[in-house]
Amino acid sequence: MSAQATKTIFFTSLFILSISVLRSQGALDGHYYDQTCPQAESIIAQAVRNATIYDSKVPARLLRMFFHDCFIRGCDASILLDSTPENKAEKDGPPNVSVRAFYVIDDAKAKLEKACPNTVSCADIVAVAARDVVTMSGGPFWNVLKGRKDGRVSNANDTVNLPAPFLNVTGLIQSFAKRGLEIKDLVTLSGGHTLGFSQCASFLPRLHNFSAVHDTDPSMNPNFATMLKTKCPNPNTNGIAGQVLDSTAAQFDNDYYKQLVAGKGVFLSDQSLYIDERTRAIVESYANDQKLFFSEFASSMIKLGNVGVIEAGEVRLNCRRAN
């Protein structure tokens, strides 16, 4: 094959790929509700703000809600559907028991239905609320692309596909790749743990009987491990005991990455990002440059928000059940 023919095939493939990407993003629009419900984002922001005043855990829970929704069936608000006698829904799957804060979405939806009936999807409310908690906590702002439709299917068994806190980097890369997300997206979106808290069960294996050679995970800072062992003894009888995922848990910042560099990652999956050569340099760059992290986080959130977008679904009247 001639060099000219090879070049032609390459550029043709590149053009087709570009068109494909544009089409996947074209379903969503940052100005989607400008004409039909221009007050949509301000209504959602007010609901988020009101809830956060009374419960400081709301930001972390709403951000996690968005991640967990998009990672199962795409960003279709399937995480909001209630279980029925015939079906156990995603929200009742083990990884989602601590998400809670569903009432915030309910509040925003009720107000939106009064202002703009049958217009704003529950999936878009979750996406906008996730952006709002980041911004309200000191993080970056981005224009959320909107126009998602709501799904009708939600199965608790599907939550086994969520990235587990004990995964290594290879497992994490594979999980993110299935959603069209790259290694940089993995490291960047993991920074959402800057607003996180975990109960002991998710990291207890790192503290006790870690391996035949080490009782405690050797990648963990020894002083940090001692502190965590005090909070989370084995066996642990305190069901609410746990640890914030960085030292400034109410503030969206780059401290999460600084903690990883210091060996103070709480989850094995988090600390692995610093241990593994494929991700270490990105962790270090974010630890050293908060502005860079903020910029990349906004980009990766937009990318995550495009996962599994439904164009032919419905706009639920009540986020807890299909129409």
Mean per-residue pLDDT, 192-208: 92
Residue 276, pLDDT above cutoff 70: yes
pLDDT at 105: 98
Give yes or no for a contact between 300 and 184, defined as CB atoms under 8 angstroms apart.
yes
| Mean pLDDT across 104-113 | 98
Q: How far, in Å, CA of 263 to CA of 272, rounded?
A: 10
Averaged over 107-132, what is the pLDDT?
Answer: 98
The pLDDT confidence band at residue 14, using thresholds 50, 70 and 90, is very low
Share of the chain above pLDDT 70, in %: 92
Which of 54-58, 97-101, 107-111, 228-232 is least confident? 97-101
Question: Sorting pLDDT into bands at 50, 70 and 90, what band is 86?
Answer: very high
**Quick check: 16 pLDDT over 60?**
no
pLDDT at 288: 98
68 among known catalytic residues: yes
Distance in angstroms (rounded) separating the CA atoms of residues 28 and 300: 15
Say yes or no to pLDDT of 312 above 60: yes
d(CA 274, CA 231): 24
Give me the pLDDT at residue 21, please: 37
166-192 average pLDDT score: 97
Instruction: Tell me how far apart the alpha carbons of residues 104 and 58 are, in angstroms, rounded to a whole number.
Output: 8
pLDDT band of 18, cuts 50, 70, 90? very low
Please give the C-alpha separations between residue 284 and each of 123, 144, 194, 224, in angstroms, as whole numbers: 33, 28, 15, 20
pLDDT in tens, 29-83: 999 999 999 999 999 999 999 999 999 999 999 999 999 999 999 999 999 999 9
Q: If you write DSSP's letter for every residue of 200-217 in order, what string do you get?
A: GGGTHHHHSS-SSS-SS-
| Residue range 217-252, pLDDT digits in tens | 999 999 999 999 999 999 888 878 899 989 998 999
CA distances (Å), origin 213, targets 225, 249, 265? 16, 33, 21
Q: Is the pLDDT of residue 302 over 50?
A: yes
- The mean of the pLDDT values for the chain is 91
Beta-sheet strands, E only, within the chain: 197-199, 242-244
Predicted confidence band at 181 (pLDDT cuts at 50, 70, 90)? very high
- The average pLDDT across 3-25 equals 42
User: Residue 156: is its pLDDT beyond 90?
Assistant: yes
Catalytic residue among 68, 193, 208, 214: 68
* Cβ-contact 267, 95 below 8 angstroms: no
| pLDDT score at 10 | 39
